[in-house]
Amino acid sequence: MSGSLRAGSSNSAVLDAARLLAPSGVVVAPYTGLRALPAFDPDLDTPDGTALPPEVRRFRDQVGRADAVLISSPEYAHGIAGALKNALDWLVGSTEFSGRVVALLSTSTRAVHAPAQLIEVVTTMNAWLVPEACVTVPLHGRALDGPAIAAGPKPRGPGPHRDRRTRSSGRSDGRTRRRLNTTRMRPENSGTGPEPECRSRSQC
């Protein structure tokens, strides 16, 4: 899911690069319905689902069919893109998102508020956030498409989503659920210094 509706979106491009770099057997399917989702209305989100708008039904179905959700969002006015937050709000009352494996991508090391908010939102929604899969590909205004990003230099070092302290809790099924402690953010990736490096492009 890209949080940007812009035709030349860098967030959509980095998700397209993830699609191109996905290993054999992994299909990265873009969600293209963000613009069509109505504004979240709890009155339409009834337990029997009869009032649910069809676009929301289709969105939930696509999330429900996915093994994992990749999200990349621009930061607007120190916040998550509104269209993406609206989409996530539609998933709060659903059965499809809770427990879903989630990775957050980013195209800017300057944006620290939206990544922190995304972490807070998806962990509140009971996602299994995978810090090792959260990668920043610093594009900073460069208009690269998915193939160009995929063919470009290998990102190195952690992105802003990875610079959070994590706390873990054991799960009865043997897996470990990781939640990120957003109260311990270290926004050292912000500012005008040299860009930090992503650890591995393959982690996209």
Ligand X SMILES: Cc1cc2nc3c(=O)[nH]c(=O)nc-3n(C[C@H](O)[C@H](O)[C@H](O)COP(=O)(O)O)c2cc1C
Beta strands in 95-149 (DSSP E): 101-106, 128-129, 135-136
CA 74, distance to chain mean position in Å, is 10
State the Cα–Cα distance between residues 75 and 136, nearest whole angstrom.
13
Q: Which residues pair with 4 in a beta bridge?
A: none
Contact 129, 104 (CB under 8 A): yes
The answer to the question of residue 16 lying near ligand X (CB under 6 A) is: no
Which stretch in 1-9, 35-43, 84-92, 123-131 sits in contact with ligand X by CB under 6 A?
Answer: 1-9
In the chain, alpha helices (H): 10-21, 54-65, 82-92, 113-124, 146-151
To ligand X, the closest distance from the beta carbon of 50 in angstroms equals 35
Which stretch in 2-10, 26-34, 35-43, 176-184 sits in contact with ligand X by CB under 6 A?
Answer: 2-10
Going by DSSP bridges, is the β-strand pair 176-180/166-170 parallel, antiparallel, or unpaired? antiparallel
Which stretch in 39-47, 68-76, 146-154, 174-182 sits in contact with ligand X by CB under 6 A?
Answer: 68-76
State the Cα–Cα distance between residues 62 and 58, nearest whole angstrom.
6
To ligand X, the closest distance from the beta carbon of 57 in angstroms equals 26
Q: Is the Cβ of residue 17 or residue 56 nearer to ligand X in the bound state? A: 17
The answer to the question of residue 71 lying near ligand X (CB under 6 A) is: no
Indicate the residue type of 46. Answer: T
Which stretch in 33-41, 69-77, 97-105, 181-189 sits in contact with ligand X by CB under 6 A?
Answer: 69-77
> Which has the closest alpha carbon to 70: 38, 29, 37, 98?
29
The answer to the question of residue 10 lying near ligand X (CB under 6 A) is: yes
Q: Mask: binding to ligand X, 73-112, rule CB under 6 A, as x and -?
A: -xxxxx----------------------------xx-xx-
Size of the site for ligand X (CB under 6 A): 14
The answer to the question of residue 6 lying near ligand X (CB under 6 A) is: yes
Write out the residues near ligand X by the rule CB under 6 A. 4, 6, 9-11, 74-78, 107-108, 110-111
